[in-house]
Structure 1
Amino acid sequence: MKSFSSEIESNHLVEVNWADRWQVYQRLKELDIPCTCTANQPLKVEIGSPMTAVQLWSVIQRLTASRQDQILTLECCWKIANNSSNF
């Protein structure tokens, strides 16, 4: 059986709209997340930590989620941040 750490260190193919793939790749490179994007091939991302997985999710959400969904997510984050500062 593989350990969790060995599973998250492997490369993963990421299904991204071909039109958005280059933007996702560029943003991941800016975040220093190891990835490759070659012609006519899927985007490959090395997910080495839970933080990397969240960053990948965030980058993809930014391009694919509706404006309303992004607003709701941001409002939820603000509420959580405000509630945690009251403790």
Structure 2
Amino acid sequence: MTRRQTTAPRSQTATTTPAYAPSPKPPYTGSGTEVVDGLTVTHGAPAERLIAVARWHERDRFGRERQGRHEKIAARLRQVANDNGRAA
């Protein structure tokens, strides 16, 4: 150390820490439509709201890789909306 330096240089005091490595995720095995699989008329959502959400899913905002998922969700929402209309 020089006279002006009161501590050791960083290269002499630094310790290395291992880089953060997240644990690997297990592969997704779901159907992609879990959010609507359990939806029934008894949930009480108005048919108009279900149809509005179905329209949003039909617009395919996220590209072709999710198109099939959005079509399934929209179909399920419309089915529950139709059942809801019959039950009213």
Is the TM-score greater than 0.5? Answer: no
TM-score, normalised to structure 2, is 0.29
- Bigger Cα Rg: 2
As a proportion of its length, which structure holds more strand?
1
TM-score, normalised to structure 1, is 0.29
Considering Cα pairs closer than 8 Å and 6+ residues apart, tell me whether 1 or 2 has the greater RCO: 2
